[in-house]
Structures are given as structure tokens and as C-alpha cells.
Structure 1
Amino acid sequence: MHRAVFIDRDGVICRNRDDHVKSWEEFVFLPGALEALARLASLDLRIVVITNQAVINRRMVPMEVVEEIHARMVRAIEAAGGRVDRVMYCPHRPEEHCACRKPQPGLLLMAAEELGLDLSRCYLVGDAQTDMQAGRAAGCRRYLVLTGRGRKQLIQCWLSGERGFAVVPNLSAAVDAILRRENGATPPLSFLPIHRKGDNR
């Protein structure tokens, strides 16, 4: 079976906007993201972008515009020497209680079925607690970046007791950690031991 790196979009690859990315003109790659994706492309791993895009069902951005943003994102990544094997998004609002909106693992499960993935040997990189929850539910090795919402979301992880993931500064650092692991080196970072109050494990 194949393996993959799942990467959240907003706050990891591009700048997170409070008013959402509504057009290609509002899509801005984070510093170092294109270079990181180019390095990642050297590995025998599928690269899958997974993103919640409730702006579609909220009627803020048409699905066709979201897909055009993704198509142009992929072309820019390829022009920089990287690749994206699949872009998967959830269009649903939270109140629709779907199975694909993170923190549900539906997007990862769909990717596993379509691409023949062993999720227990896959990686996930995100900037939110919901990313970490989806990755945990799917059994992936997880990295929380401190770009985007990462710093505030790290606090939420502490408060909720979410644990078992590594914390890295940005996508570039996450890719470096994955490269080291894939090349047989022990990454010089530890998985964050987040404990609830009174938990002595």
C-alpha cells in the first residue's frame, strides 16, 4: 500500500484570513512553503491537500472558484518543483454534521480508499486542533505548525488534552522532520506530551 503526507491548506501552505480566501488574488503562499513542497516531492509519498471549505455551502464562494484556486495553487507548486497528487475539500458547514469536515477523518479515509493508502504509515501537517483530531482518528503521525492559527490552537490542544503530536515552527520544519524520518534518522524533536491536570502519565 502507498503512503502519504496530508497537508492542511490555510495557515500551513497559504496565509490564513479571518474573512476566508475568496479568490486567487487573496491566496498568498506562506514564506518557504513552495520550497518545502519541492523538497517533499523527492519522497515516494503521495501529497494530499485536505481543507475545510465551508465557504461553499455558506454561499460565500462558488465551488467553481474554490476549484480554480486549487488548480492555480497546484500549478504554482509544480512550477516551483513540487507536486500535489490530490486536493480534497469538505464544502459543508459545521451544523451539517458531515463525515468529511475535520475533525472527522472522512477526507483522509476517502483519500486512503482512492489512493490505496496505509493511514497508519502516513503523516499529517496542520495548524489546528481539528487537524490533529482528524489525524489521530485516522492513525497518522501528526505535526502541528505554529503558523496560521497554530499558536492559539496549541493552547486549545493543551486545554482539551489532545496529545501525541509534534510541534514545529512551519511547513518547512515539518518537511525536514519527515525527510529525516524517511531517511532513517531520528528527528531531533519530541512528540508533545500534553497532559490533563492530574494526569501523571
Structure 2
Amino acid sequence: MRDAVIILDRDGVINADSDQFVKTLDEWQPLPGSLDAIARLCHAGFRVAIATNQSGLARGLLKPAALDAMHRRLWHLVAERGGRIEMIVHCPHGPNDRCDCRKPRPGMLLEIARRLSVNLQGIPFVGDSLGDIQAARAVGAQPWLVLTGKGARTLEEGSDVLAGVPIKPDLAAVVDHLLHA
């Protein structure tokens, strides 16, 4: 698996999500097992990248300094476990801004491919929303749905988009499958 890449959504996959947005460092709370799962990926030779929509910036609910503090904490907590996050890309735009980076559009994933010099064909992309699944499919990545965050709601709403998508309870279960398949 040396130099394999995996892309993760952030809110709802790594940390608790909120319909009111994760706006402060205190509100950013890792989901049980998620940080250890990232470290396990790294120990197995995966390069970990994160692609996250952060429309709270465009809405004025989230300050750039708060987002930076959350990401610094994430990097630190993963490093404490012996892991490493290669990069985090975020979309600061709102849903109506018509940008190319906001998932379900593939801009962030294409940026990751460019910066890490990888082909996205077949690489795992773990998310909790239809937008995550659609972005993965747009670049030929292999989407995975977790039931944390908005994942259970995404599954309940159902969609043809979910056809053939592996579904796991959380990031740790995805990692278990990837490392033992």
C-alpha cells in the first residue's frame, strides 16, 4: 500500500457534525476512533488528504482563524498517534456561489490529485453525504459512505447515487475493511 492515497471528508467523518455548523475550536470534537483510524491508515502506507466544504466561512458563521485552529488541532492529534495528514483543502464558498471547488463538484479532489501527483481513479474517498459520493464519482474515485454525521440521513433518503457504494458504520470500520480486505 506504500504511497496509496485516501481522501476523507471532515465534518461527520472525522469530527462531529452540526446542522448549525462547527464554528469554534471548542465545537470541533473528533468522533470516537476516527483519529486512531487515520493513524492506522498512515502506518499502513496511506497518504491521507482531507476535502471539506466550509460554507460557514461564506455565511460569516466561521472565522478563518477558527478553521485554521481546528485543522492545527487535527494535525496535532493525528501526529500524537504517529499519523500524518498530507493536506487539507477546503471550499470557503456558499452553496449558491457556483464555484468549482464545493462538493459535489470535483475541484478540491482535483487539487489534491495535482498537489500529491496522483491519479484519483479508484482511490477511496470517505464521506457522509450525497455530495461526497458525487464528487468521488466525478473523478473516478471509489466512494465510501459512513453512517456517522449525515450518513444515516443520506442512506435513509436513498438515491441511485448510492448504488454500489460500500457503506460502513464509521471511519474505523472503513479502515478495518481497507486494511484487511
Q: Name the CA distance, whole Å, in 2 between partners of 1:80 and 1:3.
A: 19
Q: CA shift at 1:4, angstroms?
A: 1.2
Q: Name 1:28's counterpart in structure 2.
A: 29
SS in 2 for 1:94: coil
Q: Name 1:113's counterpart in structure 2.
A: 114
Q: Name 2:139's counterpart in structure 1.
A: 138
Q: Name the CA distance, whole Å, in 2 between partners of 1:67 and 1:161.
A: 32
Which structure 1 residue ranges, 5 or more long, are not aligned?
A: 186-201
Given that 1:3 and 1:119 are in contact with CA atoms closer than 8 Å, whether structure 2 keeps it comes out as no
SS in 1 for 2:96: helix
Describe how 1:182-193 pairs up with structure 2 within 5 A. Answer: 185=181
Q: Name the CA distance, whole Å, in 2 between partners of 1:142 and 1:28.
A: 24
Q: Name 1:171's counterpart in structure 2.
A: 171
Matched residue pairs, number? 179
Describe how 1:66-85 pairs up with structure 2 within 5 A. Answer: 66-85=67-86
Which structure 2 residue ranges, 5 or more long, are not aligned?
A: none
Q: Deviations over 1:84-118 (max 9, x none)?
A: 11011000001001110000111000110111011
SS in 1 for 2:85: coil
Q: Name the CA distance, whole Å, in 2 between partners of 1:7 and 1:57.
A: 22
Q: CA shift at 1:121, angstroms?
A: 3.5
Which is further off, 23-32 or 36-45?
Answer: 36-45
Q: CA shift at 1:174, angstroms?
A: 0.5
TM-score normalised by the chain length of structure 2:
0.93
SS in 1 for 2:22: coil
Give the aligned CA root-mean-square deviation in angstroms: 1.3
Q: Name the CA distance, whole Å, in 2 between partners of 1:162 and 1:73.
A: 29
Q: Deviations over 1:124-166 (max 9, x none)?
A: 001111100000111111210011111110133x234442310
Q: Name 2:57's counterpart in structure 1.
A: 56
Q: Name the CA distance, whole Å, in 2 between partners of 1:93 and 1:160.
A: 25
TM-score normalised by the chain length of structure 1:
0.84
Misfit runs of 4+, over 4 Å: none
Q: Name the CA distance, whole Å, in 2 between partners of 1:61 and 1:142.
A: 28
